[in-house]
Structure 1
Amino acid sequence: MPDTVDPGRSVPSPLVTVILPAKDAGPYIATTLETLTRQFPDAGALQLVAIDDGSSDGTGAIMRRYAERLPRAEVLVNSEPRGLATARNQGLTRVEGDAFCFVDGDDWMQAGRLAVLRRRLDDLGVDFVRTDHVTVRDGRRSLVRAPYPWRERSASPREAILPDDETTMVDYPFAWAGLFHRRVLDAGLAAFPEGLFTAEDRPWIWRLHLQAGSFAVVDAPALLYRRGVATSLTQIRDRRQLDFARALTQVIDLVESDPEAERFLPKAVRTALALSAHHLVRSRRMTPALRAEMRASVTALLGRLPRGDVSAALGNLSGPRRRVLARSLRQSGHGA
């Protein structure tokens, strides 16, 4: 727990606040927390805000055990699960100092990663930095590169949204793949949409790139991301997956309200079509009732998309994706 200090003595702010939400991450979270103790030579440079989001296992107890080892740490407890977006937002209200980041309870990072990221954030003077990451599945590791060609230099986040027919930084929505200056928080760009249980990072990354002032992709010790974890929402096929359509509708709303909407809408529409096709394929393993709900959600989303941009984007989609979307496109009034 925090050390007792002389109230008359100034206490330096932490270099980085780490926001760590988790639910039922007992098999993994000790590894995550252990790596946080290896980020700075001085443990007081790191502030930990851990959120036990309604866990039914020992996640909270492990969080509290590690919080005792850190001079700046607290554990927030939600009696019922509130979802990743809400839990991250709870952590944002506790940020001290000038920099913060996110980490999930089944991931971990190499020693010294946050020290490097804080130095690069300061040296480049940007609003946020982004990094590559390493996926881990069944013991095999694969490097996933941030989809931006320039490294170690300040750039405009808006320019990293395009081109619309290539993978870009808005297709790399992983909140844990970087570090953020407090300016992002103060400008209202750090919070996640409340009430979304999946795809909450899609509106988040679009708002960040549309409205932040500067960013950079930098090299740093790796963050390692576990794939195939049974409790991950990417592995669970229940009603929470329907939130992707609401998330993409929020993306379209964001882009349409931007002064350069015509410039960015083709990219947003292409993303909505591609993700709709992906979720329609995944829905084949859902119950018939839930599959029908998914199709209705996709149809409503497609009906929200500008007709001209849909027609242009369909020409760049693969044949299998167009076939998956055909029925929903017809029902939404676009035809196919």
Structure 2
Amino acid sequence: MSPTAQRISVIIPAKDQAPFIRDALASLERQVDDLRRLEVLVVDDGSSDGTGDLAARFHDRLPGLKIIRNETPRGLATARNQGLDASTGLHLAFLDGDDWLAPGHLASCSAGLEKLDVDFVRTDHVRVTGGNRTLHRAPQARRNVALDPRGSILPATESTMVDYPYAWAGMFHRRVAERGLLRFPDGLHTAEDRAWIWRLHLHCDSYAVTNAPGVMYRRGIASSLTQIFDARQLDFVPAYLLAFDVLRDDAQAERFWPKMIRQFLAISAHHLSRRGSMSHETGAELQRLIRNGLAVLPAAELAKAFRAMDKRRAAALRPLLPTAHTPETTSMRSSA
């Protein structure tokens, strides 16, 4: 189906979100003046708590609501892809089932896309932990102006837009989806947005950060994968292997490897710090996967990034460095 002019499609993957899905959908009623502009695609990913039934109660309130049901869970990445495939809007946005939007957020993003004529816009978000709300800004100071996505990848030593991978923090023009740049790696439960954000910044032509009202990002939920220590957390390694492939094929790969490697080292060290909360088997698999990931990185750049790490994180990662990639070995080879 051809994209409907000025229609906004909102894709909501939701697995067992019964306590929150009503908040998410109710917030969509206050997004645009004419709700016929809004297409809402809830992907009920094998929920066992009636999430899909609760969402269906909004049919009268959101005329563009569609429910896509997976009998068994297929993962966050695949659920988002299902929503993309079923969408018809000219402008595309993601919203997680436990989050919600400030009034007018989608209208503001859509207006920014049109006015600036960019491939995508990014926005700030508000982290909600219990009764506390904290504004987190997208790491790009220039606002409401068209920018080159590649120009926002570096420097390697500072937080940049590829460190802000949240799919729900922005809106995308249909042409980005038509180029295949919005799809997520099927089957991943976490870190599905890592290769995704790199692909956007390497292959899109333009973007902007706009001062939209905001996404309310709920934190500290017991059912959230950020709070769970099972094997699903290990998906960050295959996710980064895909990101390595995205960068490896780029003509400017050498320029951006330091940033990519610093990211992988930082997130690997973070997960290693949580190993005590994992089962023995999961912890061992975490170490194996990280070791395999480190082994495929450019040796000189890996050694340089490792030397720049703080002592605590470096100590956690040192046993997993392949011998041929250790800073000491690399230095000896370079001086030979």
Q: Tell me the TM-score range normalised by the shorter chain.
A: over 0.9
How many Å separate the matches in 1 of 2:227 and 2:274?
10
Identify the match of residue 305 of structure 1 among 294, 297, 303: 297
Identify the match of residue 250 of structure 2 among 251, 258, 278: 258
How many Å separate the matches in 2 of 1:149 and 1:304?
34
> RMSD across aligned C-alpha pairs, in angstroms?
1.6
Equivalent residue runs for 1:1-336 within 5 Å: 13=5, 15-330=7-322, 333-334=325-326
Unaligned runs of 5+ in 1: 1-10
Secondary structure of residue in 2 paired with 1:67: coil
Q: CA offset at residue 316 of structure 1?
A: 2.1
Secondary structure of residue in 2 paired with 1:15: strand
Secondary structure of residue in 1 paired with 2:274: helix
Amino acid at match of 1:38: R
How many Å separate the matches in 2 of 1:52 and 1:306?
41
Greater Cα offset, 281-290 or 177-186: 281-290
Unaligned runs of 5+ in 2: 329-336
2:333 corresponds to which residue? none
How many Å separate the matches in 2 of 1:332 and 1:286?
29
- Does the Cα contact within 8 Å between 1:15 and 1:118 map onto a contact in 2? no
TM-score (normalised: structure 2)? 0.94
Secondary structure of residue in 1 paired with 2:236: helix
Q: CA offset at residue 15 of structure 1?
A: 2.4
Change (3 A) 1:197 1:33: same
How many Å separate the matches in 2 of 1:247 and 1:143?
27
**Runs of 4+ with >3 A deviation:** 11-14, 330-333
How many Å separate the matches in 1 of 2:256 and 2:121?
22
Q: Percent identity?
A: 48
What's the CA shift string for 1:127-155, capped at 9, x where partnerless?
A: 00000100000210001010012111000
Give the number of aligned pairs.
327
- Does the Cα contact within 8 Å between 2:9 and 2:41 map onto a contact in 1? yes
Secondary structure of residue in 2 paired with 1:56: coil
Change (3 A) 1:182 1:12: closer
Q: CA offset at residue 216 of structure 1?
A: 0.3
- Does the Cα contact within 8 Å between 2:302 and 2:325 map onto a contact in 1? no
Change (3 A) 1:12 1:315: closer
How many Å separate the matches in 2 of 1:191 and 1:65?
29
TM-score (normalised: structure 1)? 0.94
